[in-house]
Amino acid sequence: MLNIILFGPPGSGKGTQALLLKEHFKLLHISTGDIFRNEIKNETAIGKEVKQYLDAGKLVPDELTIRVLGNYADSHSSPEIQGIIFDGFPRTVPQAEALDAFIAEKNSAINVVLSLEVNDEELVKRLINRGLTSGRSDDSNDEVVRHRLKVYYNQTAPLADFYLAQKKFVSIRGVGTIDEIFAHLCDEMNKLD
């Protein structure tokens, strides 16, 4: 079983690349952002609880996020998948610790954290552009976009040290064509056993 974390700020291309990696390496793609947006669309109890956080560009509390992730992973595992690609999770140190425990329970481990590196100016441009077509309210508002980047640097970026200490953190240039970036990611994936 491969367990891959796709890491990087909002707008770094995690969603796009996760879909390509999922197809190519036959992985289960778990995006906590997609799960939350789906819950909101379906007006579930969880959706009602998390909407305020997504609208404001704030992180959903760890306890709820970890529970939602565990339920999703357990209910979507199948014999055909070769592993999991985590996109947008973990975003805090407690989430990373919970993920380590969750995966260890399955006698497995995180193989690698692939971090897409993109400068802020490019990120804001991409997010605002995406907001014009995606219908995502958190991409359409300049203030919320900037707040999400601030949340990333304050709460999520410190995770780099967590995974550097485990020698699992690999930086990938996240600027270029989708194919170029995908090729770099594949090179790293192909180094795994």
Name the residues that contact ligand AMP, by CB under 6 A.
10, 32-33, 36, 53-54, 57-60, 65, 88-89, 91, 95, 138, 148
Of the two residues 13 and 88, which places its CB atom closer to ligand AMP in the complex?
88
Of the two residues 29 and 91, which places its CB atom closer to ligand AMP in the complex?
91
Segments of 8-161 assigned E as strands:
27-31, 83-87, 112-117
Token match 């930086």: residue? 171
Distances (CA, A) of 193 to 39, 74, 108, 114, 141: 36, 24, 13, 16, 43
Question: What is the distance between the alpha carbons of residues 151 and 91, in angstroms, rounded to a whole number?
Answer: 10
- Report, in Å, the least distance between residue 182 CB and ligand AMP: 19
Nearest residue to ligand AMP on Cβ basis = 33
- Report, in Å, the least distance between residue 138 CB and ligand AMP: 6
Of the two residues 33 and 174, which places its CB atom closer to ligand AMP in the complex?
33
Of the two residues 40 and 79, which places its CB atom closer to ligand AMP in the complex?
40
In contact, 19 and 8? CB cutoff 8 Å: no
Of the two residues 95 and 115, which places its CB atom closer to ligand AMP in the complex?
95
- Report, in Å, the least distance between residue 91 CB and ligand AMP: 4
Of the two residues 89 and 182, which places its CB atom closer to ligand AMP in the complex?
89
- Report, in Å, the least distance between residue 127 CB and ligand AMP: 9
Q: What is the dihedral of CA 58, 61, 67, 71, to 10 degrees?
A: -10
Question: What is the distance between the alpha carbons of residues 122 and 157, in angstroms, rounded to a whole number?
Answer: 17
- Report, in Å, the least distance between residue 171 CB and ligand AMP: 19
| Secondary structure percentages of the chain, helix, strand, coil, to 5 | 60, 15, 25
- Report, in Å, the least distance between residue 49 CB and ligand AMP: 12
Question: What is the distance between the alpha carbons of residues 188 and 56, in angstroms, rounded to a whole number?
Answer: 35
